[in-house]
Structure 1
Amino acid sequence: RTSLAADEAWSAIPDTWRRPLLQSVSLSIPAGVIFAAGEPQSVSVNYEADERFPGDLVKLTAAARSYTVSSLVPALSDAELRDLPAWDANRPLPEEFARYLELPESVTDRTRQLAAELTAGASSPYEQAAAIEQYLRTFAYDLDVPPLP
């Protein structure tokens, strides 16, 4: 755990393919954890950074109820994402990322078949993800939950 002063960066993360985002956060009750999009860079209050190892952020913490966070968020266009090369035998997926592609055993054959059907015409991993996203956007949902009787 590293203690940092207000506006001090916890790490020097390169901003390749990223853009800065400034967020203002006001909480009704203190949470202790700093909420931020993307890769948080610095916070407007004194805070602490917990890392698994240098550069691998677990969480930022502070006692403040109001703060501003500076983050880096992805800034690739659809065309740039579509043109990224796929992982294959010539360009293997780095071992540390393999866990993000794992599916739990509870995923049914029906779900696997649906995913295969939805992505059948896709020519890149980005197009596969976009096809699944488009399908999921056809479902209506409502965040207003009715009260219990």
Structure 2
Amino acid sequence: MRTLLVIPFVLLVALVAYGAYVADQWLGVVAFTYRYLLFCIIGSLALGAVWFGIFRKRALLVVLAVFSVLAVNYLLPPPSERLLRSVMLKAPPGTEATAIVDIVKRHYEDSPYAMPRISEDRGGGFDRVHVSLLSQEAGNSTSVIFLVENGRVARSIFSPD
């Protein structure tokens, strides 16, 4: 009977891993924070405790396996879209518009990705700085649009592909 409990346990681990993936896609740079690493540790210990309570054997292996599944986001290099979201978070409202190019360069110079295309547009009441990943891959239209008012970022909009 206990062996049938393995299936819901594996589904629970998959659900937690999927939740971490969704949070990473929704919030952006989740996988590069110490809070996420703490979540991986606490989550794996909690699921290991559940395993130990049911089966009383190999709980340490289960803890390590669950931690590996959850922490894989922490160890993989960031995709270019995540770097772009990170740029958006580093240029909050009130940032000088001239600093956007420097922030983008700082994030992309050590990465394996090509520099995103940066263009400025004036008109419609707002100035805009458009940072686009079209320069990296044909058909990838992921971009961040910074709305600039009086030389400062008023708002930023993330536009996924």
TM-score with structure 2 setting the length: 0.28
**Higher RCO structure, 1 or 2 (CA under 8 Å, sep 6+):** 1
Q: Please identify which structure carries the higher helix content.
A: 2
Larger radius of gyration: 2
Q: Please identify which structure carries the higher strand content.
A: 1
